[in-house]
Amino acid sequence: MFNERETLYLSIVVILCALFLIGLSYYFYRHIKTYDDYNVAGRSAGTFPLICTLVGTAVGGSTLLGFMSKGFQQGVGQIWLPGAITIAGVLLLLFFVRRIRDYGERYSMITLADFMVKQYGDSARLPTLLSMICAYSAITGMQFVAIATVLNLVFGLELAYGIVITWLILTIKTYLGGLKAVIWSDAILGTLQTLGVFFLLAVVYHLAGGWGGITDSEKLTAQPHFLEVSGIAPSDLFVYLLTIGGYQFVRQDLWQRFWAAKNAQAAYSSYAVAVVFTMLIGGAAVLIGVFASLGLNIQLDNPDLTFYAVLEATLPLPLIILMIVVLLSTVVSCADSFFIAGASSIANDIIKPRLKNQDDRFLLRMSRYSVLVMSVISVGLALYAPRLVTIWILGSAMLVCGVLVPALVGLLFDNLNRRAGVATMWAGLVSAVAWQALGQPFGVHPVFIGLPISLLMLPLLFRGRDPEPMIQER
């Protein structure tokens, strides 16, 4: 992709960025004194860094590259894919964010399992923990692979070496700084990511001749619905809404950020702004693909390379280097967020409940050790699991099928039937795992098996409950 001299320049920039992130984490390492500092940023994060970190965790490398290639292949209708995430985000904002924040503040919660235990008893911790570890170890491993893939395309570095280098850098970064460093590094990376995507859209729009330049494209003869907003199959949208959309409600990295905010208003306002920017960035990625396809006359055998082809066709070397850094920033801001979320589950839901003397310094040390455990699991999956994406699909399905319904009902109502809640979790979780193990018969996603089973058991949660309502919103 680059000649030897260009590769050298880009290598220097990437190495300097990695050293900067590690240095930033070391700065926070010296200021982190408590278990809460490490896992929920001392519950003191302000609005601006929260906005950036929420956007950073929502827009990953697969989002940026995936939406762009979808727009390149299938047109404007793919803008509904980020729209599905936005719909879930709006519902979460309107009905659940304040409640999540209220519970976390009242009971000093660290993980989603803490909430499930509060509502359904200690037996709820295990199914929540299993779902979290499966989902977050797989998706962290996927981020290692994503960064290694960029390094392979740009530098020709072997994928395995790229995975190991990525694992080492992100492990050091996360081990040192915890969630506090993740949030503040995202404040930088998220800003860079947002500006970079909008800048690239402006460049591509201009070079393609604007909207008028693409409406006259000869390619529209073969694809007449390419520029129609309705140009997406309802079934595709429905699947995305229930899978990725449903997953948004039970993302531990999101809940932790609501608890990391310095107050409830900061959590609510930050997420409201982040939902808007997530939609705009996702939509911009789709439109870059659309303009590249119709206005730049780019021909690709592999649409997954749309981003790199657009850079080569539109930008000089210094700006290409900047956009490669933007792409790496996008992936890193997701990777470390998933990393610390999974590590928090290990420390808080496996180690802490088994300790008689819960000394805060010891818990802080265990949190750092949990990062190491999480890193070994994730890099092992990245290097040796041939079906890593399948493992993540399974983990996310376990969360949506086993945790989603009891969690949302638990946020809306109090004094629920605890045994029924745990039974609902296991029924949804086991059915999703079984369906995935069978190879998704008829091509049906496990969410469409496990979630209906979980919903069918919903009435049992209200049997024998006290009719008094739960905490009112502030």
Q: pLDDT for 7-65, tens place per residue?
A: 888 889 889 989 999 999 999 999 999 999 999 999 999 999 999 999 888 877 777 88
pLDDT digits (tens, 9 = 90+) for 383-437: 987 667 677 777 888 889 999 999 999 999 988 999 999 999 999 999 999 998 8
Domain assignment present for 473: no
Task: Find the CATH number of the domain harbouring 42.
Answer: 1.20.1730.10
The percentage of residues in the chain with a pLDDT greater than 90, rounded to a whole number, is 53
Residue of 389, 142, 106, 131 whose CA lies nearest to 252: 131
Q: Is residue 472's pLDDT more than 60?
A: no
pLDDT digits (tens, 9 = 90+) for 85-100: 899 999 999 999 999 9
Domain assignment present for 414: yes
105 versus 389: the higher-pLDDT residue is 105
> What is the predicted pLDDT for the residue at 474?
33
Domain assignment present for 469: no
Q: CB within 8 A of 128, min separation 6: which ones? A: 111, 112, 113, 116, 349, 402, 403, 425
Domain assignment present for 467: no
Domain assignment present for 70: yes
Q: pLDDT confidence of 468, banded at 50, 70, 90?
A: very low
> Worst-scoring range by mean pLDDT, 144-148, 149-153, 281-285, 394-398?
394-398
Q: What range does the domain containing 47 cover? A: 4-462
pLDDT digits (tens, 9 = 90+) for 262-281: 999 999 999 999 999 999 99
Domain assignment present for 468: no
pLDDT digits (tens, 9 = 90+) for 272-316: 999 999 999 999 999 999 999 888 888 888 888 888 899 989 999
Domain assignment present for 471: no
Give pairs for 112-116: CB < 8 Å, separation 24+. 112/250, 112/252, 112/255, 112/403, 112/407, 113/345, 113/348, 113/349, 114/348, 114/349, 115/255, 115/407, 115/410, 116/403, 116/406, 116/407, 116/410, 116/421, 116/425
Which tokens go with 436?
A: 């995935």
* Bridge partner residues of 45 (DSSP): 261
> What is the predicted pLDDT for the residue at 40?
95
Exposure of 377 in the CB half-sphere (CA atoms within 13 A): 20
Q: Kindly report whether the global pTM for this prediction surpasses the value 0.75.
A: yes
- Read off the DSSP letter of residue 443: G
Domain assignment present for 309: yes
Number of domains comprising the chain: 1
Question: How many Å apart are CA 193 and CA 322, to the nearest integer?
Answer: 10
